[in-house]
Amino acid sequence: MTTFDLKGRTAVVTGAAQGFGRAIAERFLQSGADVSLWDMDADTLASAARELASMGKVSTAIVDVSSLEQVEAATAATIKASSKIDILVANAGIAGPNHTAWTYPVDAWRQVVEINLFGVYYCCRSIIPHMLERKYGRIVNIASVAGKEGNPNASAYSSAKSGVIALTKSLGKELAKENIAVNVVTPAAAKTRIFDQMTPEFHQFMLSKIPRGRFLEIQELAALVTWLSTEENSFSTGSVFDISGGRSTY
């Protein structure tokens, strides 16, 4: 396993109790970072923190990222406890149900967008001013290949993830001269708990679109995100990093 250098860095990872977020947090700890795990599932978060504590300095915050007030409170608490935030990985998200766009329940559509897009925006909005004061930062937003291509029967998810891509591009340009790199990763599907929100037919549809013929392994995503979070990533910003097994080639 490649060793990345995150020694002396403090990272916030949202949706960190399981799946992508937990794998990223683990790789960060292995690379020497202190990690604040943010998640709204208190029990799973506590369990993850206990299991990761032996790897390095771990703190937690119970946060619903669709609430700006909760995000701002967690940001202030993390800075008070750790004195700084060098890295943000905005990973928290939900898939939502599968429906055609014209039959999609409006409340469910809104919830997907509020968590997946507004949640990323709120985290960036809250943490970037602190990074500007310190003249350093690395932000990695987790979108999806669905944000590039649009998945049928997943209009809310696809729309939100497309928004995350555009938000990242805007932030990358706004912060390009501030030593704050902002990039977005667009993974293909992986077997995380988000799968529980989708139908078996939709699972098979997603698999059929991946030329490698398998789902993404969460450790593969964690490796890419970790490099993007290092000081060594000193030039790429506002960029989309595809990890789709050949599904998306642009």
Lay out the sheet containing 34-39: strands in order across. Answer: 58-62, 34-39, 10-14, 87-90, 137-142, 180-187, 240-243
Catalytic entry in 122, 136, 157, 250: 157
Assess whether 157 carries a catalytic annotation.
yes
- The runs of H, that is alpha helices, within the chain are 19-30, 42-52, 68-82, 106-113, 119-134, 146-149, 155-174, 200-208, 218-228
For 183, phi then psi, to 5°, come to: -130, 165
* Cα Dmax for the chain: 49
For residue 124 the two structure tokens come to 């960036």
Catalytic positions are 157
